[in-house]
Chains A and B, each alone.
Chain A
Amino acid sequence: MADRRKLFFTNDTYNHAKTDTLFVLAMKENVSFHTKHCPQYKRILSDFNFDISSVNTVEDLYKIPPLPASYLKNHTMLSKPYNKLIVKTTSSGTGGKKTLSGFDTGSGLCAMSMLLKIFKYNKLLSLRRTNYIILGYKPDKSNQTAMAKALKWVSVLAPPVKIEYALKIKNGEYNIDVDGIMDAIVKFSKQNKPVRIIGFPAYFKMFLEELNERNIKIHLHKNSKILLGGGWKSMFAEAISKDELFEMANAALGIQRRNFKDQFSTAEHPTPYIACENHRFHIPAFSRVIVRDIDSLSPVGEGVPGILNLISPLLTSMPYGSILTDDIVIKKNDCGCGNPAPYFEIMGRVGLANVKTCTQAASDFLKKI
């Protein structure tokens, strides 16, 4: 896995031109490895008469048959023994069918390097001691979801003073501790330390509404940040745009626009796509994105809506090198924000039956309040 290591330790975090050759080599290495170690994956590739020697440039990556995310919710595919995985996650927070995902040691190291480089580029790393409000689950033995783990891991980006969770276990089930987070944010605002608020957009909106309801207006430390992830689908239903949410955040917390970050990622493809100031998800050097035609699944050109296909040689634990999501996106170049990498924007998610996402579950949870 020498090529993978080289790729994930590169400093050209968002430079595709410089990393294209290496990326293709790493993908070839990755697909060959999984073909050898995962019989189910081998079967799928042979059903498509796929031969890895046909992939020689980034333009050829589309030839690798992608695995649909919906398929992985019903089928676990492993290329390493399950007990050899150092981190194990499942995809959905509550309800729905779960996708098993996880890292072996090699994938874990590469993932750490990737995260540090991406977060550094996006100015999310800090040595300043920081208070955290996590609008998500307090990790617990019973909760193995990628989201719960990711939320905890994000707190390594800046050394934590105190972490306050919105969802805590009480009497064996998760409950929203509204008073707890309200008290914490007021307390944090009085300390001369940055605050990071992390979680689902649906929870963040509720958090802001609760502040409004209680007539709490505060001004957080200027280096405070809001990191949102977990999909915007339920926010489409609430008919609220990112801009409106930002305005609300600015009014209630005094948070600067540049400090308002949202990210896209999936359990099967754990690469963080951090939105830039134009709210676009830039594609780091560690992955490539193909947008596929809604009829033929062939790659489409810039600016044409299609199905999002995520490609990454990160995992040796599972053959998730090429994942076909249910998201409809458009891909473009030249954002203008300063990040040279191409980016994608999400138009929405295809409503396949029985595919229930984390964010929907978050909305379901809101119903219980």
Chain B
Amino acid sequence: MNLVNGKVINSEECERVLENIDEMLISTLRKTPLDVEKVIHACDCMVQNAEQLDIIKKLPELGISPVLTSMYIGQVKSMLGADAIKRRLKIELGENYNKPQELVYAHSGAKAAQTLAPLGVLFHITAGNVDGLPFISLLDGLFTGNINIVKLPKQEGGITVSLLLELFKIAPELQEYVYVFDYSSKDLHAMRKLAKVANAIVVWGGDEAVSAVRRLAEPNTKIIEWGHKISFAYVTKSGAKNTTLLEKLAMNICLTNQLFCSSCQGIFIDTDNMDEVYKFCEEFLAILERISAVHPFAFDEAAMIFIKAGATLQFYHERIERSENKVFKGNDCSVTACRDSKLEPSMQYRNVWVKPLNRDDIINLRGYKNYLQTAALICSDDEYTELAEKLIRAGIIKVSDGFEMSSYALGEGHDGEFTLRCYTRVVSVQN
């Protein structure tokens, strides 16, 4: 679905927009800057009645489980109320972000006013792994006063356009600040054109998507990369006895199906002994199976065929390879014990790996550099600080319990950065 100036348009009209996009952007940029207060007000009004929005009612049809739907509504409400947005702006951009700061040139005594300004035009190339991501990404662009061009991922389900139309009902003046296109990333002509008119490209996705954007962008275009990350859990001997914490981890695995960057792909055990790893696998499988039964897959039958066949083929492949990995297979989930300590993606869809990683070797994870994101730390209280520090030193961005791995707290950094700061620049004007 394509949306320009608040109107849903077809692909022919899109071509015309693409031809004239330079002039359209310039015409908006000529006007007084976007009043961010209006964006905040519109969001605030919209979330008051979030449950009543058509698109929210349709979420179950898009394969999103009821538990996740109510979690999303809760999160959206807590994130997009006026007070929440203002607080976030202060956390990310600084307490006095909207007040100019006085600078003095020491040698002459001349003064200047320094403040934050939008980057100008952002081109968001979004990914399909997180529901509603394009909308969230472009809102961050609006909170910082930017014009936003959004390339939707495949099979987005119309969530972004529906939410935008609601937003525009409240604040029609925002319409010219948002362009949504469903061009394929293979449409290089369109992609290049949109990249060319943007001050910065915001890219969400895996290594391939990031590399493609690096090739696409001209040297004078800033690239803001939200690349794929890998998250995991770290469990100590005392953590392995804590069923409540392990259930929270199983919740993350089942509710996200391990599709997010912040989802748990696997579990490192604080040991060098494989027998302990095997014992943990057996115990954790029982927990995972129990939680999986409470939160069954919400995909349709066809998707389930591919998900199940993928896991079956992988297990068969390992059997042929005489892999030393030991698979503990449950109903709709599995736990695989591996001898190595490599950090790697899982097969996803409730199939986790378990590997030994002695606490003294946590630092070895630093080799994965920018791929590292969240670690769920499951241990006793007296171990927590020491291990959290070790994980952060190795390069982990966020340490939490299993349940909060994929949650967002207001003002929390994203992949080690403040998003809103990335979408602004610091400017100064001599008085």
Contact = CB atoms under 8 A, between A and B. Distances in A.
Given A363-B186, A367-B188, A369-B188, A294 B305 contact: yes
Contacts of B295: none
A25 B312 CA distance: 30
B316 A294 contact: no
Contacts of B317: 68, 70-71
Interface in B295-341: 302, 305-306, 308-310, 312-314, 316-317, 319-322
Given A237-B154, A347-B302, A70 B313 contact: yes
Interface string A214-226: 0000000000000
Contact of A352 (B188, B305, B310, B321): B310
B320 A350 contact: no
B305 A328 contact: yes
Contact of B305 (A47, A238, A305, A367): A305
Contact of A297 (B185, B305, B316): B316
A350 B313 contact: yes
Contact of B313 (A237, A305, A307): A307
Nearest to A363: B186
A326 B313 contact: yes
Interface in A69-91: 70-71
Contacts of A47: 319-320, 322
B306 A350 contact: yes
Interface in B351-389: none
A368 B317 CA distance: 34
A294 B320 contact: no
B312 A328 contact: no
A297 B312 contact: yes
Contacts of A326: 313
B411 interface: no
Interface in A87-134: none
B309 A68 contact: no
A366 B186 contact: yes
Given A353-B345, A367-B186, A324 B313 contact: yes
A44 interface: yes
B165 to A, nearest CB: 24
A351 interface: yes
Contacts of B184: 238
Contacts of A44: 320
Contacts of B305: 294, 305, 328, 347
Contacts of A324: 313, 316
A238 B154 CA distance: 10
A276 interface: no
User: Which applies to chain B's interface (DSSP): helix, strand, loop or mixed?
Assistant: helix
B186 A294 contact: no
A68 B154 contact: no
A347 B317 CA distance: 21
A297 B329 CA distance: 15
A70 B321 CA distance: 11
B316 A328 contact: no
Given A295-B312, A352-B310, A71 B188 contact: no
Contacts of A71: 317, 320-321
B322 A352 contact: no
Interface residues of A, number: 29
Contacts of A348: 306
Interface-centre pick from B302, B312, B345 (highest chain A CB count, 10 A):
B312
B306 A67 contact: no
Contacts, number: 57
A307 B309 contact: yes
A238 B320 CA distance: 35
A235 B163 CA distance: 30
A306 B308 CA distance: 10
Contacts of A294: 305, 308-309, 312
A126 to B, nearest CB: 36
Contacts of A347: 302, 305
Interface in B156-202: 184-186, 188
Given A237-B154, A324-B316, A328-B305, A350 B188 contact: no
Contacts of B302: 347
B186 A352 contact: no
Nearest to A364: B186
A70 B310 CA distance: 12
Contacts of B320: 44, 47, 65, 67-68, 71
A351 B322 CA distance: 22
Given A68-B316, A307-B312, A352-B313, A328 B306 contact: yes
A70 B188 CA distance: 31
B306 A352 contact: no
Contacts of A297: 312, 316
A359 B322 CA distance: 30
Contacts of A368: 188
A253 to B, nearest CB: 24
Contact of A351 (B185, B310, B312): B310
Contact of A350 (B185, B186, B309): B309
A350 B317 CA distance: 14
Contacts of A351: 306, 310
Contacts of B319: 47
Contacts of A363: 186
Nearest to B344: A353
A305 B309 CA distance: 10
Contacts of B212: 367
Nearest to B301: A305
A352 B312 contact: no
Interface in A182-221: none
Contacts of A295: 308, 312
Contacts of A328: 305-306, 309
A65 B316 CA distance: 10
Contacts of B345: 353
Interface in B61-99: none
Nearest to A368: B188
Nearest to B347: A353
A181 to B, nearest CB: 20
A328 to B, nearest CB: 6
6 contacts: A71-B320, A71-B321, A294-B309, A305-B305, A328-B309, A367-B186
3 tightest A-B CB contacts, nearest first: A294-B309, A294-B308, A350-B310
Given A67-B320, A238-B184, A350-B313, 20 more contacts: A44-B320, A47-B320, A68-B320, A70-B317, A294-B305, A294-B309, A295-B312, A307-B309, A307-B313, A328-B306, A350-B306, A350-B310, A351-B306, A351-B310, A352-B310, A352-B313, A353-B345, A367-B186, A367-B212, A368-B188
Interface of A: 44, 47, 65, 67-68, 70-71, 237-238, 294-295, 297, 305-307, 324, 326, 328, 347-348, 350-353, 363, 366-369
Interface of B: 154, 184-186, 188, 212, 302, 305-306, 308-310, 312-314, 316-317, 319-322, 345
